[in-house]
Structure 1
Amino acid sequence: MIRVHVFVEGQTEETFVRELLYEYFIDKNIYLNPILVRTSKTGKGGVVSYAKIKPQVNCKCLEDAKAFVTTMFDMYALPNDFPGSSSLPKTNEPLHKAEYLEREMGKDIGHDNFIPNLLVHEFEGLLYSNLQTFADWFDEVAVSILQAERNAFTSPEHINNNPLTAPSKRIRNCCKGYDKPLHGSLLAIDIGLDNIRQECQHFNQWLLRLESIATAI
């Protein structure tokens, strides 16, 4: 069994790995182990400082050299000390920005068993892959608003990362009572992994890379 440790920044992402990704990869002889990043000696969750994240990732790469280590962090609102954040290429293509930041993080960590990954722009972007699922939790008005927003962009991953219009802000604005820990993973499960992969190119590339581990060994 191939082991892959997945560093996540919140409980929603942790549940997403356990409930949606785990079963898919276990059938491919790959065991995913979500790890909630530590922000302090007692606190967990959130990428508030890369300086706090790097030692945790580095330690796991060294501690379990026969396993792989990857990340599922939001590209939105990354800390200023994140590798490559001060030298981002001038492009309007968010997928290119994510790829650049991932390469820089990969070089900074510097271990062969590390697979850098960022969500474009954040976890809630994945939820735009099939907005009809929101009808079971909210109402058709919210679905109509979200669908119109989705139609305005090339893909769910292109929905912008402005502090006022990031995917999470858009969802909260029209879905009264939306709570990420409660609804986030449940909506993702309802949407289904196939739909998310079809709609979200960068996310799909990450999963393809994880899948390739089994054939490469």
Structure 2
Amino acid sequence: MIRVHVFVEGQTEETFVKEVLCEYFQEKYIFLNPILVNTSSTGKGGVVSYAKIKRQLDRKCREDKTAFVTTMFDLYGLPNDFPGRDSLPNTNDPFQKVEYLEQKMGQDIGHTNFIPNLLVHEFEALLYSQPQVFAEWFDASVVSILQGDRNKFLSPEHINDDPLTAPSKRILKCCQEYDKVLHGSLLAIEIGLDTIRQQCQHFHQWLLNLENI
């Protein structure tokens, strides 16, 4: 069985890997192990400093060379010391930006068993794959608002990363009781992996890369 350590930045992503991705990949004899990044000596979660997460990624790649190491971090809100952040290509294409940053991170980590991955632009973008599921947890009126947001963009992953209009900010604006830790993974489970992969091409490509190890 192939083993893959998946570094995540929050409890929602950790649950998503456990509840959605693990079962799917086990059928392909690939075992995923989610690891919540350490941000301090007492806390876990969030990518507040690349230098801190680099040490953790490098250590895992070295100590478990028979396994692979990958990441599930948000493109939105990356720290300023992230490799390639100060030399991003001048483009509005989010896929070009994220692929550039992933390439730079891969080069910086420098291990053959490392597979860099960033979510475009954040976890909540995946939930825009099927806004209708929000009606099962919140007032049904939020569905039309979220669907209207989704219809303005080519895909959920194109929903922009502005501090006021990032996917999570849009959801909170019309659904103030939304709690990422409580609702995020439940909504994703309800949407289903197949639908998310159909809607989110960069996320789909990451899973393909893991399947093709």
TM-score range, shorter chain: over 0.9
- 1:131 corresponds in structure 2 to 131
- 2:87 corresponds in structure 1 to 87
The two structures, once aligned, show a CA RMSD in angstroms of 0.4
Tell me the alpha carbon deviations over residues 39-96 of structure 1, each in whole angstroms, 9 at most, x when there is no partner.
0111100000001000000000000000000000000010000000000000000011
- 1:77 corresponds in structure 2 to 77
Q: Secondary structure at the match of 1:86?
A: helix
Tell me the alpha carbon deviations over residues 12-51 of structure 1, each in whole angstroms, 9 at most, x when there is no partner.
0000000000000000000000000000111100000001
Distance in structure 2 (CA, Å) of the matches to 1:170 and 1:193: 22
- 2:201 corresponds in structure 1 to 201
Distance in structure 2 (CA, Å) of the matches to 1:97 and 1:44: 27
Aligned residue pair count: 213
- 1:116 corresponds in structure 2 to 116
Return the TM-score normalized by structure 2.
Answer: 0.99
Distance in structure 2 (CA, Å) of the matches to 1:49 and 1:137: 34
Distance in structure 1 (CA, Å) of the matches to 2:26 and 2:212: 14
1:140 is displaced (CA, Å) by 2.0
- 1:40 corresponds in structure 2 to 40
The unaligned stretches of length 5 or more in structure 1 are none
- 1:174 corresponds in structure 2 to 174
- 1:100 corresponds in structure 2 to 100
Distance in structure 2 (CA, Å) of the matches to 1:25 and 1:173: 35
Q: Secondary structure at the match of 1:69?
A: strand
Distance in structure 1 (CA, Å) of the matches to 2:95 and 2:126: 14
Runs of 4+ in 1 over 3 A off after TM superposition: none
Distance in structure 2 (CA, Å) of the matches to 1:40 and 1:77: 18
Distance in structure 2 (CA, Å) of the matches to 1:73 and 1:180: 15
Aligned-partner residue type, residue 205 of structure 2: Q
Tell me the alpha carbon deviations over residues 98-154 of structure 1, each in whole angstroms, 9 at most, x when there is no partner.
000000000000000000000000000000001110000112210000000000000
Identity of aligned residues (%): 75
Return the TM-score normalized by structure 1.
Answer: 0.98
Distance in structure 2 (CA, Å) of the matches to 1:175 and 1:187: 13
Q: Secondary structure at the match of 2:207?
A: helix
Distance in structure 2 (CA, Å) of the matches to 1:139 and 1:147: 14
Please say if residues 3 and 30 of structure 1, whose CA atoms lie closer than 8 Å, have aligned partners that are also in contact: yes
- 2:28 corresponds in structure 1 to 28
Distance in structure 2 (CA, Å) of the matches to 1:75 and 1:51: 16
Distance in structure 2 (CA, Å) of the matches to 1:95 and 1:133: 26
- 1:164 corresponds in structure 2 to 164
1:210 is displaced (CA, Å) by 0.1
The within-5 A match list for 1:6-25 is: 6-25=6-25
User: Which stretch of the first structure deviates more once superposed, 134-143 or 25-34?
Assistant: 134-143
Distance in structure 2 (CA, Å) of the matches to 1:24 and 1:190: 15
1:176 is displaced (CA, Å) by 2.7
Aligned-partner residue type, residue 29 of structure 1: Y
